[in-house]
Structures are given as structure tokens and as C-alpha cells.
Structure 1
């Protein structure tokens, strides 16, 4: 794959930000760490160019601070994660160095004061405290080098096309599966951008069409959390929980092109059967290619990558496969993000009032023209006349 490198951007330190204290949780993989974080924890990560999906997972948990051994914005491309963290009010300290993983142990109570980190009274690290201004400056500088990123993305796309031409064009290498897909709709869920809102909007669709539910790694957990049972789980098995793996879904393990499948051992330890799907593509691409090859009439994507900004935000050459995969299955692919945005509108107060008045008018008309309604109106009219007469006698 083509490697993209630009000089690391210089950042400014924020002026005397507040103090934050919390329990430290450490992991070099942010996605894996998010599964065991609790509200108020301090996340200690090793993540160059934090993407939006990783940042969303940290915000959703409610961490009190994020300590990054690496730069959160390196300048290679305008990644979206740091902005998400800053907008959520979560302190972000960058460039703490590898030593932070030796200085802090799991479960330590750490204190963040400005750009310094303490365990008890002892300072254990000093980095760069990011704020809205510093992140905006870094993002602006990164966008200036976007042409380099696009050129590299195009080169990666061509390299992937050469490597997986048979898979993309002819479906060579797609494994046989037990789940029946031919002629049915498939709903592919990735725990990515706005997946919760998308799933909520799609509830009527799922009830009516009963699509094949395919969870991509943590997307299987997302389906279970929404009240569904996945029919199939596809991925490298690094973010799906054991309980969800045991839900009865067919398991397809994403393997490297040479056949190595690190996630297969975990599935087998749980006593589950699984098949492998060797390919250089991402797991979400494999799910789409499998659904297409097995005859799905429609593919609905939840939480997947759909735009150029999202492709670049992942910062991986492998995202070129997603671009080509969408070209391959585009004729039957529907992105749930558009549906979510269309139906997120709330009913205005004036529209609700008009609806209530219309209902009252309809009920009044129905009562007025019916025999029972006329008798009832006569009784009410007589009661009203008597009331007016009695009030007139009093005054």
C-alpha cells in the first residue's frame, strides 16, 4: 500500500484549563478499550489521528479525559475525532509519549492539570493540551495537504483492484454459507457513524421486510442492543462480545489474504463453528460483497462509510476497498444515513394544534348529522337555555 506522510503539525497549549480526576483505563487499541470503560474513567490510548468512530465511542461512554501517547492530529489528513472530543467538553492531552503506559497502571487514580498528568502527587507525564483553537488550526493545516492524501488514496485503490480483481468482478473466494440470502433484503450494521439513529428510523422497515440481519464485528452488539438477533456475524472478532457470538448467528471470520485468521481461535474457544473469508478488504466490504454474491435483492447499510471525508477519516489505505465495493454493489445499496436525516424532523406546535382542531371539527360534524347526535345536541341546547334563563332571573 502507498504510505502517506506529512510533517507533524505544531500545536499550541491551552491556557490553564481545569483539573480532571478519574480512574485510568489503558489500551493501545481504542476500539477495544471502549468496551470496558465506565463513565468518569480516564482513557489512556495510543492512537495517531483519532477518527470520529473512536471519538464517538469515548464520548458515548462518558470518559472524563483522554490521554494520548501519540498526536491526535498528525497533519497527514483532516481526521474528525479530536473535534468530536473537544466539542463534547472532554479534555484531550496529546504527545505524552510511550512512557505514559509504564508510568500509569490500570486502575490508578490520575489527575490531569492542564497539560500535566499526576498519579497521586507525582507527575508522570506532560504533553499538549488541545482546545478548540489548536484543533481547528491543525485541521486547517491538514486540509492544505489533502491533495497528497487523495493521490495516495487513488493509488491504493488501483493496488487493491489488482489484488482483489477476481473477488470484485467475479465473486471468486466468497465462501458458501448456510444463511439464505437470495432474493431477500440484507441489513448490514457497522458500529460507525450515527448507527443508533439509523437503526431507530429503520424499525418499521425491519418489521415489514424482515431483512437478513448482518452484524459487522461490534455491529452485531448494536443489533442486540436495539432488540434484534443477528442472522450472521462477519469480522475479525475483535470487538464483538462473547454473549453475542453465542446468539446463534452464523459466524464468518475475516482472514488475511494468506489465510491467517487470528479471530478464528477465539470463536473456536467458545465452541462455535465458523467459516473464514480471506480478503484484503475491510470487514464491512466483505459483508456487502457476500450479500451481493449470494443474491440479495437490496442491501441497506447502517453505520458504514459513504463519503470521501469518511473514507479519509479512517486514515487507512484499506478504505480504498470500500470505495470499489460501493461501486460494485451500488445498484442495490441503500445508505440508512439519508433515511435517518429525512425522518429526524420533529412536529411543530402549530401543526399539532391544527391536527387537534381538525379532529375536533370532524367529531363535531359526525355528531351533528347522526340521529343520536341530534338528540344529544337538543338536550345540551335545552340545558343551556335553562342555564341562561336562571342566570337572567338572578340578575
Structure 2
């Protein structure tokens, strides 16, 4: 074997995770450029849940963070989600990495080292499940300060957005009829695809208005559902999904700037903007409430104490809190709905029904001169039973 072939093989077998570097100091701009197999190189203190979900949705294989992903001020959720998704995370490598690594460079991450070929260009801490768990325990000590900040931010947000929250001023009109109908809002939270699968029976029975938020819109489309309304940044949503939705609502900043609106215009898709400071998930809930939904079922929207204190939602946490107060008892978690719709049929009854159908098929063959016709009819009946039970448990 030639020497060049041996060298190529040795390089190919170098340990670690390999991907194409996408470099940007600003996480928001970086997220729009990421694709499957990339390594995100960023500078983000305390990676929040929403950023981590966007990274996972983009299909990155690794994240190189110039800063500390968990500073210890509070238990932010992003690093834990990245590790659970199998994304390699190298932490605290220093800001020099943003200059040393050029966009498009092939990177290799191994045991805290960041390599270009065989050359180490940066070194940090390779995070894993245990290190993240230890850091989260220490970070819980910062929750008191976050609660104080949350209280102050809530008062400020209510002052700024009281017309929207109290009177619905600024909520765009929709062509999709929502009044007195149930609405299912799907966002890209952890395990949202699994939660959506468990709601298939609910969707079949109640035919709710389907609202997809960011990655949740793609999940609806991939599951075979056409979203009635899509809310979010069009740059982060697949073209096929955008084309499948009846209406697209693009969150806009107070000054009217709406990220992703140019892409919508290039695709020739009609859209409306929703100027507000809340995040896309909250705007979707406000749309449903303002247009008279009788019930709003959520998938992938988590709003426990840890989510409220997640720094990535520092500006929108008051929006999340007050929006849920606004909807009140109209708001129901999808997991609860799936549990209520899960039929409780004993296994003995299942066996009895199947045996009865099989017995009918056997008798049909024994007594009929045209047994094949009866077999076909009985087989159809058996398939109906199977489909029925699939609907009960699927």
C-alpha cells in the first residue's frame, strides 16, 4: 500500500467527532446557517433550552463554546439537552477560537481538544452527563437571584405589553376559523415528536386547528399533518412545511423588523407579522386565545420553574408566565390529553375478540361451498378489529 494511502487511512481513523465548522459569535445568526453534520462554534454563556433545541433540530454533531455553558448562576437547561441528544460539547475554550477557526473548516473534537487535522487549535472541557449533572446541582444556588429578576421583568413586561395581554390589540387576523374550536399547538420542545404521536387518536376524533411553532411545524408536516397555522422564523422552517401551511405568522420586533420575512416573499407565500416582544410559542397561544379557541392543547411547551428561570428566556419569561395566566383553564398539556384518550381495555377481552373472529373464519370454510368468499369477509372483519385496537392504543 502506498504511503499516501496509509496516511489517509490513519487520518480517517482519528478518534472523536468530526464536522464542518460554522463560526459566529452571535448564536441567533449562527443558527440560521447550521445544517446536519456541522460543528457550531459560538460564544454563549449559559446555553439556554431554546438555543439547544435549535442546535439539535439543525442536526449539529458538536458544539464548541468559547464561554462556559453553565456558569453556575442558575440551572440553565441547554447543555443537558445537547448531551441527551448525543451532541458533543466542548466548553470554555476561549474567544480566540472564533479567530483561529475559519468558517467551513473541518473540525475534530476529542477529549476537550479542538483539532484542525492533527493540529490542536483550542482546548476546553468535554462535557458529559456526569459533569453536567454536577454543574446543575451547584447552579441551583443561583435560583433566588433569578426569581427576583423574574419578578422585576414581569412587571416591566406587563407595563409594555398590557394592551396585547388584556385587550388582544395587535393580534393579526387569521383566515382559519378558530372560534369555538379546539387548537393543538406543537412546539419543538423535548420529546415533542413522541408526544404528537400519542395524540393521533385525539386529532382524529376532535380535528383541532393545528398550529406549528418553529421546529414543531416541521414535526407536524413530517408526521403527515398539514399545519393550519405556522408561527415562527421562516429561516428555521423547511420549505415544504412552509408551503403546506394554510397561513404563516412571522413574529416581528417592536420596530417592525421580522426575521425571515424575505424568505417568505421569495417563496411567494403569504404571511402576516405579529409585532410583540414575546417568543413564538407565546404568540401562538395568544393567537388561539384571541380568536376564541375553546381549548388549547400544547405539545413541546414546557413551563416549569426550571424553564421560567432559564436565562435564554430572560426577556420572554414574563411573556410565558403571563400568557399562561391569560389562557387560564383553556390551556391543557398534551400529555394529559393523551392519557385521558388512552382506552383501558383488558388484554383478556382483546384475546377473546380475536379468537371469536378466527373461529368465525374456520366455521365459514367448513360449512360453505364458497368458503373463500366467507374467508375474505371474515378477514376484513379481523382487519377492522385490528385497526380499531390500533386506534385505541396508537
Q: State the TM-score, normalized to the length of structure 2.
A: 0.77
**1:103 maps to which of 78, 83, 100:** 100
**1:250 maps to which of 242, 247, 251:** 247
**1:79 maps to which of 73, 76, 80:** 76
Tell me how far apart the structure 1 counterparts of residues 151 and 283 of structure 2 sit (CA, whole Å). 20
Secondary structure of the residue aligned to 1:77 is coil
Deviation of 1:336 (Å): 0.8
CA gap 1:329/1:357 in 2 versus in 1, 3 angstroms: closer
Secondary structure of the residue aligned to 1:145 is helix
Is 1:137 aligned with 2:134?
yes
Partner of 1:186: 183
CA gap 1:226/1:77 in 2 versus in 1, 3 angstroms: same
More deviation, 264-273/290-299: 264-273
Partner of 2:291: 294
> Aligned runs of 1:1-395 on 2, under 5 Å?
19-28=15-24, 29=27, 33=31, 36-38=34-36, 41-55=38-52, 58=55, 64-87=61-84, 90-313=87-310, 314-339=312-337, 352=347, 354=348, 358-359=352-353
Greater Cα radius of gyration, structure 1 or 2: 1
Tell me how far apart the structure 1 counterparts of residues 19 and 297 of structure 2 sit (CA, whole Å). 40
**Which of the two has greater helix per residue?**
2
More deviation, 128-137/299-308: 128-137
CA gap 1:101/1:261 in 2 versus in 1, 3 angstroms: same
Q: Which stretches in structure 1 are left out of the alignment for 5+ residues? A: 1-17, 374-395
Secondary structure of the residue aligned to 1:207 is helix
CA displacement, residues 89-119 of structure 1 (integer Å, 9 cap, x when unaligned) = 5442111233323322344332333222111
Confirm or deny: 8 A CA contact 1:31 1:239 kept in the other structure: no
Tell me how far apart the structure 2 counterparts of residues 301 and 229 of structure 1 sit (CA, whole Å). 17
Confirm or deny: 8 A CA contact 1:27 1:33 kept in the other structure: no
Q: State the TM-score, normalized to the length of structure 1.
A: 0.77
Tell me how far apart the structure 1 counterparts of residues 29 and 352 of structure 2 sit (CA, whole Å). 51
CA gap 1:281/1:87 in 2 versus in 1, 3 angstroms: closer
Confirm or deny: 8 A CA contact 1:24 1:105 kept in the other structure: no
Deviation of 1:58 (Å): 5.0
Secondary structure of the residue aligned to 1:164 is helix
Confirm or deny: 8 A CA contact 1:217 1:235 kept in the other structure: yes
CA gap 1:30/1:203 in 2 versus in 1, 3 angstroms: farther
Deviation of 1:200 (Å): 0.4
Tell me how far apart the structure 1 counterparts of residues 354 and 205 of structure 2 sit (CA, whole Å). 32
Tell me how far apart the structure 2 counterparts of residues 32 and 208 of structure 1 sit (CA, whole Å). 41
Confirm or deny: 8 A CA contact 2:90 2:124 kept in the other structure: yes
Q: Which stretches in structure 2 are left out of the alignment for 5+ residues? A: 1-13, 368-394
CA gap 1:320/1:238 in 2 versus in 1, 3 angstroms: farther
> May I ask how many residue pairs the two structures share in their alignment?
350
More deviation, 204-213/229-238: 229-238
Tell me how far apart the structure 2 counterparts of residues 268 and 76 of structure 1 sit (CA, whole Å). 42
CA gap 1:343/1:88 in 2 versus in 1, 3 angstroms: farther
